[in-house]
Amino acid sequence: MESSVERAVTDRMRTLDDALARYVRPDTFPLAVRMLRHGEPVPEGVRVPSESLGEQWIVCQSIGIARRFGWGVAVGRDDVICPLAAIAFGFRRPNDAYLSGYAAVGMYCQDDAAGANLEAGVWRFDPGEYERVCIAPLSKATFEPHVVVVYGNSAQVMRLVNAALSKHGGRIQTSTTGRLDCSDIVIQTMATGEPKVVLPCNGDRVFGMAQDTEMAFSIPWDQAGDLVEGLAFTHQGGVRYPIPVAMRSTVTMPPRYQELTAMLEAQPDG
């Protein structure tokens, strides 16, 4: 039986989901993301692909499946076959080859020094800090998230940025390498406690089906209420999606159209 606290969390998630549907209109499900610690049970209705499907899904693929299929997904050490994501999320311990940039050289970086520097900039959890990352649509999640993520086009993400800044102002600061966006979405947001605008990486495009027109916006769960309030406030202020365009000026018709209009106006009524 759902407790009053669980019911309150569910209500907050549904309220946020409704606000996103009304003011942002994303093409795919907004997501709740929670990091599960060791011994924390997999929430009800959430699939662990290695156990329930006999498959291994990487993190960006799991995000894509959750936001397009509407499934709840939890992946950990036995599921994540991308070594970079497994290390970033703390499911595997980094070794010397990883730290030296071995996986980056020849694909993203020209030499070992650049590769090592690139890996040093990856957002990472400590090894063993968490057991799984759990992802589900906000409208269906049976757990309290740490992070909420929404994919959208640049105008939709702009609306989310405007809403997130409406209460306190300032700027949203994001760092990116164009690689391992799963780390940017979840780990960077949790580590900084701030909203982020995230550039989908190559892996997300290949395995998570992120489109060329899409970006991601992530925000800590404890700021969800401010986001709902900000969406309503900025909408009332005139910042809206779809973006209103200047269509109300009197337009100029082609010369023959103008001549025909003059003829029509000159002829007797009736």
Give residue 248's pLDDT: 81
The verdict on residue 228 lying in a domain is yes
CA-based torsion, 126, 131, 136, 139: positive or negative? negative
Give residue 6's pLDDT: 87
Q: What is the mean pLDDT of residues 104-133?
A: 97
Give residue 52's pLDDT: 93
SS (H, E, C) 46-96: EECHHHHCCCCCCHHHHHHHHHHHCCEEEEECCCCCCHHHHHHCCCCCCCH
CA-based torsion, 179, 162, 231, 191: positive or negative? positive
Give residue 249's pLDDT: 87
- Asked if residue 2 has pLDDT above 80, the reply is no
CA-based torsion, 227, 231, 234, 237: positive or negative? negative
Give residue 190's pLDDT: 98
Q: What is the mean pLDDT of residues 15-44?
A: 97
Tens of pLDDT, residue by residue over 175-220, are 999 999 999 999 999 999 999 999 999 999 999 999 999 999 999 9
pTM summary value: 0.91
- Exposed, middle or buried by CB within 10 Å (0-12, 13-18, 19+), for 42? buried
Q: What is the mean pLDDT of residues 155-164?
A: 98
Residues belonging to the chain: 270
Which carries the bigger pLDDT value, residue 244 or residue 172?
172
* Residue 221 near residue 12 (C-beta atoms within 8 A): no
The verdict on residue 102 lying in a domain is no
The verdict on residue 109 lying in a domain is no
Tens of pLDDT, residue by residue over 35-61, are 999 999 999 999 999 999 999 999 999
The percentage of residues in the chain with a pLDDT greater than 90, rounded to a whole number, is: 93
CA distance 215 to 197: 7
The verdict on residue 77 lying in a domain is yes
The verdict on residue 248 lying in a domain is yes
The verdict on residue 63 lying in a domain is yes
Q: What is the mean pLDDT of residues 68-95?
A: 97
The verdict on residue 9 lying in a domain is yes
Q: What is the mean pLDDT of residues 124-148?
A: 97
- Token look-up 């998230």 returns 145
Give residue 90's pLDDT: 98
The percentage of residues in the chain with a pLDDT greater than 70, rounded to a whole number, is: 99
Q: What is the mean pLDDT of residues 149-154?
A: 98
Q: How many domains does the chain have?
A: 1
CB atoms within 10 A of CB 93: 11
pLDDT bracket for residue 149 (50, 70, 90): very high
Domain that holds residue 210: 4-92+123-266
CA distance 263 to 127: 81
The verdict on residue 110 lying in a domain is no
**What are phi and psi for residue 16, nearest 5 degrees?**
-65, -45
pLDDT bracket for residue 12 (50, 70, 90): very high
